[in-house]
Amino acid sequence: MTDVHGTVEPGFESVREVFAGIAANEARDGGAQLAVHHRGRLVVDLWGGDGVDGDSLLGLYSSSKGVMALIAALLVQDGVLDLDREVASWWPQFAAEGKERITLRQLLAHRAGLIGADGGLSAEEIADDRLIAARLAGQRPFWEPDTGHGYHALVIGALVGEVVLRATGRTVQELYEERIRAPYALDYHLGLPEELEPRFRTALPALPTPAEQAFLAENPVAPDSFMAIAFNLHADPPFDNVEYANSRAVRVRAPLSGGGIGTARGLSRMYAAIAGELDGRPPLLTPGILAEFARIRSEGTDLVTGSENAFGLGFVPLATRHPSLGPTAIGHSGAPGSQAFADPSTGLSYSYARRRFGFMAGPGAPENDRLIPAVVEAAESV
């Protein structure tokens, strides 16, 4: 990626310079988009790379967990969901194998221990939240619930989505379309319409350096590890992360753990509706509900990834990794290295989207560490 296109508002020129530097130095990345809203205005709208423009629809993978968390937060705000109610009270089958006391709060905080299925999930199951939920209803947890946390990478959307369906009679996808996507005209889709398929750009695999290849060879994922189970690597065949978004079945059914398709512009606009007023409407979440979902609920060593991380309720608290952001900054990353968030303290929303997978970039590609401080500094100057 060498040429940078798009616009920035006065005061945000430095963000374009940082983005251009990333484009010049990381030519193998296959294209990227960056969109930033400030107090409801689109102030940064940049893109570059072969085949990628501002309207290209990309697989943003786990960014859809942020949508799931937003719908859950809205339903708590409405009084429809109770965070401290047992999941099995909505979904009786879930009580099997010692799961009867797991609460919605524990589930959203990645503390349920229900990270996958014995023997793995099939390709058909991975593409369909209802099939995942049916399979996991009878599954034993992989650790004692609420004794630790681990990233429920491919299943948390299906589990929370089943609770929402049983509590409301509607899917998260339906509620998102009616309450958020359509009213705000968002170019981020949970279920990609066929007429938008020509705008979709396939995800591209990582291109590891020799040193990165050596690291992977020296640190294989054990087939019986929590990492293998959570990412369905113990299935036959193992889960293919790149081909996941490239599957039309995934794009149509939009499994909530990673099946959303959209532009950086669309996802930034969704978070703008959390960060502050947008289109004359008040923020989607009240300060109390925002604080409830942003507060760190799980922190320390992740039992799945082995890394040090933190989770709020569905969302990831971003200030733990990006100290320039405020304490209620919430969002979620995506496997290629994408990152998106709302920061109500500054009125900022942000979405960076990559087409090609970065090396081990699931928590957000390293370029976010340069882009986010530049965005915050620019916002403080205008």
Identify whether the C-beta of residue 256 lies closer than 8 Å to the C-beta of residue 174. no
- For residue 12, give the nearest of 374, 322, 265, 325 by alpha carbon: 374
Q: Provide the 3-class DSSP secondary structure of residue 133.
A: helix
pLDDT computed for residue 27 by the predictor:
47
- Report the alpha-carbon distance of residue 341 to residue 351 in Å, rounded: 7
**Residue count of the chain:** 382
Residue 287's pLDDT is: 97
Q: In the chain, which stretches have pLDDT less than 50?
A: 1, 27
Which residues touch 104 (CB under 8 Å, ≥6 apart)? 72, 81, 82, 83, 84, 85, 86, 87, 160, 163
Would you state the pLDDT for residue 148? 97
Q: How far apart are the first and last CA of the chain?
A: 29
